[in-house]
Amino acid sequence: MKPILGIESSCDETGVAILRWQPEAPGRGLLANVLYSQTRLHADYGGVVPELASRDHVRKVLPLLRAALAQAGLELTDLGGIAYTAGPGLVGALLVGAATARAMAWALELPAIAVHHMEGHLLAPLLEKDPPQPPFVALLVSGGHSMMVHVEAIGRYRVLGDTLDDAAGEAFDKTAKLLGLPYPGGVALAELAEQGRADVYRFTRPMTDRPGLDFSFSGLKTQVIMAWKKSDRSEQTRADIARSFEEAVVDTLAIKCRRALEVTGADQLVIAGGVSANRRLRAVLAACGKRDAFRVFSPRLAFCTDNGAMIALAGAIRLAAGQRQGEMIEVFPRWSLESLSALT
């Protein structure tokens, strides 16, 4: 199969990658991967400003494309297809990647494929050497989503649980803001938690006391505000609260993962999305896996957060199965994972 170009622009990262997908040689075939993060652009506002995000994707997408081609040592004419994130995400940001990809596909007379951003995240471990084999359970935890998914086959997804309010990453980011940490908060909060003591505060593990696989994280935020307001507001206290918040989220996710594996009878767990970069989450799930005899798969850290490689991968798999997108430039800011077409 000829190399596939992948373009990601659903939020605040422009990612471009080129992948020659070889299912029989996992972990190989990634010819280029370049990324530009807009973090600094949005830092002054304490969150992503959609209009600024779109304009910055417009500025960055072609230079990144040129850089990716140079990294791969390829010309445009060497490409075999173009994959782009078509949703879910910020509509203006998505349109930049979609319009670029569609225009290129049209001019080069190549097939193009619209990729679901969360399918990209959940397939990202297939970019590694020892990939999971469906069926498996996937915990998708990013800034916009917290989902437990039963991957019956590639393209056949059953959402077992979803968030009722904040996504896990959003909870990290909002809690970090409450504690006065600089944007982007999630990573800063996780770093601060390393200095915190575990036994000073204890927050609840939301929705673990009843059956089901849905999540709710917004109540934790309130517990954090109360604790912080009543405290001496010292640096140590800030770290202690961060530690206990992180433990509450990680424990909750781990409890739900074990439940999902039990319900489905699966023995492989994929964790993906930005929050899967969290060290404590990875360590706790690895320990659970050892104890309860399931295997845990996660992408390398750079592919936990948004990137073009996962979009190239999901697109390459769908293109190889003969799927194509029409010429209309269309994006889907809200898009159900379950509505995707199966490959077989």
Q: What is the DSSP string of 131-148?
A: ---SSEEEEEE-SS-EEE
Query: Per CB under 6 A, does 308 bind ligand KG4?
Result: no
Specify the residue for token string 């437990």.
148
Residues within window 259-288 making contact with ligand KG4, judged by CB under 6 A: 273-275, 277-278
Instruction: Give 104 or 141: the residue with its C-beta nearer to ligand KG4.
Output: 141
Instruction: Give 36 or 79: the residue with its C-beta nearer to ligand KG4.
Output: 36
* Minimal distance, residue 185 CB to ligand KG4, in Å: 6
- Residue 237 φ/ψ region, left for φ over 0, alpha for ψ in the -120 to 50 degree band, beta for the rest: alpha
Query: Per CB under 6 A, does 187 bind ligand KG4?
Result: yes
Instruction: Give 104 or 190: the residue with its C-beta nearer to ligand KG4.
Output: 190
- One character per residue 280-309, x = contact with Zn ion (rule: CB under 5 A): --------------------------x---
Q: What is the DSSP string of 243-260?
A: HHHHHHHHHHHHHHHHHH
Query: Per CB under 6 A, does 143 bind ligand KG4?
Result: yes
The amino acid sitting at 239 is A
Q: For 171-175, which contacts have Cβ atoms below 8 Å and span 24 or more sequence positions?
A: 171/217, 171/218, 171/220, 171/221, 171/249, 172/246, 172/249, 172/275, 173/47, 173/143, 174/221, 175/220, 175/221, 175/224, 175/242, 175/245
135 burial type by CB count under 10 A (0-12 exposed, 13-18 middle, 19+ buried) = middle
Chosen from ligand KG4, Zn ion, none, partner binding at 169 (C-beta under 5 to 8 Å by type): ligand KG4
Chosen from ligand KG4, Zn ion, none, partner binding at 112 (C-beta under 5 to 8 Å by type): none
- One character per residue 90-129, x = contact with Zn ion (rule: CB under 5 A): ----------------------------------------
- One character per residue 135-154, x = contact with Zn ion (rule: CB under 5 A): -------x------------
Instruction: Give 142 or 237: the residue with its C-beta nearer to Zn ion.
Output: 142
Pick one of 119, 166, 173, 240: the residue that binds ligand KG4 (CB under 6 A): 173
Check if the beta carbon of residue 99 is closer than 8 Å to that of residue 84.
Answer: no
Question: Which residues bind to ligand KG4, rule: CB under 6 A?
Answer: 11, 142-144, 169-170, 172-173, 184, 186-187, 190, 273-275, 277-278, 305-306
